Structure 1
Amino acid sequence: MSDRQRRGESERAQQRRSELIATGRKLFANTSYDALSMDDIAQHAGVAKGLIYYYFKSKRGYYLAIIEDSVLELVSLASGGGDLPTTQRVRRTVEAYLRFAEFNEAAYRTIVTGGVGFDTEVQAIRDTVRTGLVATVVEGAYGREEIPTIAELALLGWLSSVEWLTLEWLEHREELTREIPRDLLVRMLRHTLDTIAEFAPECPAPPPDPDFHPYTGR
């Protein structure tokens, strides 16, 4: 077999793998891990069950690949808008985060809580989200990558609030529009940045955006 043929087969295999992940993301968007069998998945994908085992080894391996793909999308969505003013960029980041959680609820719950078993693989997936989101906030707030440990701890504390507030909001989103938790989390981040400035003067808080009018309930 020539190198060209090998490359062609490799590209087709990668495309098939990506197609299976895309199908899985639709199936698991709002369906729990235990609710679908491999037979169900194969039927929806229109492939033999053995093909899924060939690419992903197991149902759990398939699900983790789907979650990892979802994580890449979440981090990519949240990190966009680099040309916006700081407050608008933060608001866009939080908006993208909440929107992802709303339309990928089952996957989001897995990312945050470890829905297929809390182990090193699941923890690594969650760490990828946390690292990406904290880096986005740091770049937007300070225009650099390195910050003191105390500043990083404060931002991780805020991010923990983001995760659990989002989980609670998903249970009440029929009565609370997405703008409410979004503006609440942006306001909480403002307080976090002000507190960081007190403990780490080398990290001054960005000036407030006079055009930002958070949700008032009216």
Structure 2
Amino acid sequence: MNLSEQRARGTDRSVARRTELIAIGRKLFADTSYDALSMDDIARQAGVAKGLIYYYFKSKRGYYLAIIEDSVGDLVDRASSSVELDPVERVHRTVDGYLRYAECHQAAYRAIITGGVGFDAEVQAIRDGVREVMIETIARGAYGTPRVPPVARLALLGWLCGVEGATLDWIGRPDLERDTVRELLVRLLGETLRVIEEFAPSCPAPPRTP
């Protein structure tokens, strides 16, 4: 094995180990708040030396941010995996994927949306990034392009903030079926798109479904 192959194998092992630690952290933070877990607790429950976590993530906060970013990737992938569908079905699938993620990964979803550790500029930036991706995904589904006028983006952001609040409430006391929540949010989106058309005629709303 030459030097480049040795380095590649070492890199693969390092990536795999880091991925494993993130998966462990997601489970730990799903059951326990950020403040309640010390690095000693994390290392003990993960069954690794504390130094290994510091090696990969530098600090508890760095570890937590890596977990949030990994969770964000899952959320975005789940919500934007329907690009091959027609626009109406794509919107339904996008909202359904978003709700499914929140339902199955409640702690991660709360951390993404609320920040999880009080006000933290980096966590807020991650959340804002999720919002931008979601807005672009919805715009692409509705208009065929992620680029929309500022007034359209503002309206979609308002709808998405409402989705976040409704989803947080729903997973906290799930007394409605996911299908009902999805249809409600899609209907609200339809009304938002019709309001956008009034303010930005270049963004026509899709026709109403029967």
TM-score normalised by the chain length of structure 2? 0.93
Gaps of 5+ in 2: none
* 1:197-208 equivalences in 2 (<5 Å): 197-208=197-208
Extract structure 1 runs of 4+ deviating beyond 6 A.
none
Counterpart Cα distance in 1 of 2:36 and 2:98: 25
Counterpart Cα distance in 2 of 1:57 and 1:165: 36
Note the C-alpha offset of 1:44. 3.0
- Residue matched to 1:180: 180
Q: Any idea what the Cα deviations from partners look like across 1:12-68, whole Å, max 9, x if unmatched?
A: 111110111111122223432223332332233221111011111111111110010
Gaps of 5+ in 1: 211-218
- Residue matched to 1:93: 94
Matched letter for residue 182 of structure 2: R
* 1:56-205 equivalences in 2 (<5 Å): 56-173=57-174, 175-205=175-205
Residues 202 and 30 of structure 1: CA distance in aligned 2, closer, same or farther (over 3 Å) = farther
Contact 1:29 1:103 in 2 (8 A): no
Instruction: Give the % identical residues.
Output: 62
Contact 2:136 2:147 in 1 (8 A): no
Matched letter for residue 104 of structure 2: F
Contact 1:162 1:185 in 2 (8 A): yes
- Residue matched to 1:216: none
Counterpart Cα distance in 2 of 1:29 and 1:180: 26
Counterpart Cα distance in 1 of 2:180 and 2:75: 20
Counterpart Cα distance in 1 of 2:35 and 2:91: 35
